[in-house]
Amino acid sequence: MKPRLVFLPYLLFLCALGACSRAPAPDDAAAALLEHDGRVAWQGMLACADCDGIDTSLSLDRRGGQRDYLLIESYLTEGGAERFVERGRWQANDDALIRLRAIDGGERVYALQADGRLQPRDTKGRRFATRDGDFLMPAMASSGQ
C-alpha cells in the first residue's frame, strides 16, 4: 500500500461512524421557540397502518414553569374520521427531543429538526424504520410576552 493510502481505511471508518450519529441539532430559531413563554404548534398527515392517514395537530404551551401540550389526532377512513384528544406535559432535551407525557401515563417522543419540523420517534429517540417521511410542519408560534 502506498504511504498516502494507509490512512484511507481509517478515514472511511470515521466518515461511516459520523453518518451513524443522531440528527443535527435544530438551528437557533427553531430551538428558541421552545425556550420562551408562548405557544408553538405543528400539523400534518402521518402514516397509518390500518387507516388512510392520521391528521395530526400538536401545540405546546409554556407559561413560566408550566409546560402543557394538546395533541389532536383524527384517524381517517373511508367511513369518516375518528378523533382522539390527548393532553399532558412536555419537556425538551438538549438532544432536540421533545417528550410528551400524557395525563393518562402514555409517552410520545418527537425530534425537532433543524428546519423546525417534528418527526415522531420511539421512546429512546430513535427513528421509526418505516416512518422516515413522517413530519409535522410548523403551523404557528406566539409569544406569551
- In order of start, what are the domains of the chain with their CATH numbers? 24-143 (2.40.128.640)
Contact between 73 and 56 under an 8 Å Cβ cutoff? The reply is yes
pTM of the model: 0.76
pLDDT at position 31 is: 57
Q: In the predicted model, what is the mean pLDDT of residues 107-125?
A: 94
Q: In the predicted model, what is the mean pLDDT of residues 40-57?
A: 94
Is residue 45 scored above 70 in pLDDT?
yes
Is residue 47 scored above 60 in pLDDT?
yes
Is residue 2 scored above 60 in pLDDT?
no
Is residue 30 scored above 60 in pLDDT?
no
The residues near 79 (Cβ < 8 Å, ≥ 6 apart) are none
What's the grid cell of residue 109? 417522543
User: CB neighbours (10 Å) of residue 30?
Assistant: 20
Find, among 136, 144, 137, the residue nearest to 46 by Cα: 136
